[in-house]
Structure 1
Amino acid sequence: MRLHPEKTGIVRLTRGGQGFDFLGFHHRKMESWKWRGRYYLQRWPSVKAMRVLRDKVRAATARSRTERPVSAVVADLNPVLRGWAAYFRNGNSGRKFNVVDGYVHERLAIFASAKHRLAGRNWTTRFTYGWITRLGVYRLTGNVHRATAHASR
């Protein structure tokens, strides 16, 4: 039996080694910021999972679809964001969720700017946090559930 080198390999996890990807999560042992010298296994969305989500957001907010209202784009995006957040909410995904929220905000600002024939993204004047909240975009930030690392009886 031959093992595929890209799918199978030996991973060094001691002292915060390289980590590994499994089921869309990247697993890595990280040193505790409170108790130096102690390492805990943490997981967050992998690079590939982030890329797939960015591709879906980019496809929903493509410039060729500028005839659609922004509310229709948000209606298409919300189920994708909810499902992605439900799958990745367990673990240490908070930083990645912030990145996704920022990317969705940016893509919707670009979409709205193109739709209304405005130059640039207009962050400070039109497409603020209040604007994205009024649209009803599902926010991933604040949806992380920290899982305990010890076994139950």
Structure 2
Amino acid sequence: MKTGKSYPHVCPSAKSLVKIKERITQLTARERAPILLENIVGSMNASLRGWSNYFHYRNSNGVLEKMKTHAEERLRKHLMKRHKVKDRGIGLGRFPSQQLYTKYGLYKVPTTAGWKSAHASV
């Protein structure tokens, strides 16, 4: 029964977070290095956009931040493998987070909730 009141704590489940992280990890796997980078980033963006739009509400800021960090780390790791950069420190300098969004076109997962309640006001 809907009362119109918002839930006290609404956020994506741990299972959902694990599932999207596995999806991003699959998309940036080492064996996908021969695939065009634009296609890899496009697939990542589609998954990230769909997942974050579905779960972008109330208390999900922490989970969204974890997903954003995971996506950045996976794309950076993929670029490091693709360009044969072995040192993580050099990889962070060569592929900073801002560049992942501007140069490579990674979708920036919003880290602040867009909705204030789980129910729309009537």
Relative to the length of structure 2, the TM-score reads 0.82
**In the alignment, which residue of structure 2 is the partner of 1:35?**
none
- 1:93 counterpart = 2:72: no
Q: Distance in 2 between matches of 1:149 and 1:44?
A: 10
**In the alignment, which residue of structure 2 is the partner of 1:129?**
97
More strand as a share of residues:
1
Q: How many residues align?
A: 114
1:51-98 CA distance string (max 9 Å, x none): 000110000000011112322211111111111011101221111111
Which one-letter code corresponds to 1:67 in the other structure?
A: P
- SS of the aligned residue for 2:8 comes to strand
- Return the offset for 1:149: 7.2
In the alignment, structure 2 segments of 5+ residues that lack a partner are 1-6
> Which structure carries more relative contact order (alpha carbon 8 Å, separation 6+)?
2
Q: Could you list the structure 1 runs, at least 4 aligned residues long, displaced by more than 6 angstroms after superposition.
A: none
Q: Is 1:85–1:143's contact at 8 Å kept on the other side of the alignment? A: no
Find 1:120's aligned residue among 77, 84, 87: 87
- SS of the aligned residue for 1:54 comes to helix
Q: Is 1:90–1:147's contact at 8 Å kept on the other side of the alignment? A: yes
- Return the offset for 1:124: 3.5
Find 1:63's aligned residue among 15, 30, 51: 30
Q: Is 2:57–2:118's contact at 8 Å kept on the other side of the alignment? A: no
Find 1:79's aligned residue among 43, 46, 59: 46
Relative to the length of structure 1, the TM-score reads 0.66
Determine which structure has more spread, i.e. the larger CA radius of gyration: 1
**In the alignment, which residue of structure 1 is the partner of 2:109?**
140
Q: Distance in 2 between matches of 1:102 and 1:152?
A: 32
- SS of the aligned residue for 1:125 comes to helix
Q: Is 2:80–2:91's contact at 8 Å kept on the other side of the alignment? A: no
Which one-letter code corresponds to 1:110 in the other structure?
A: K
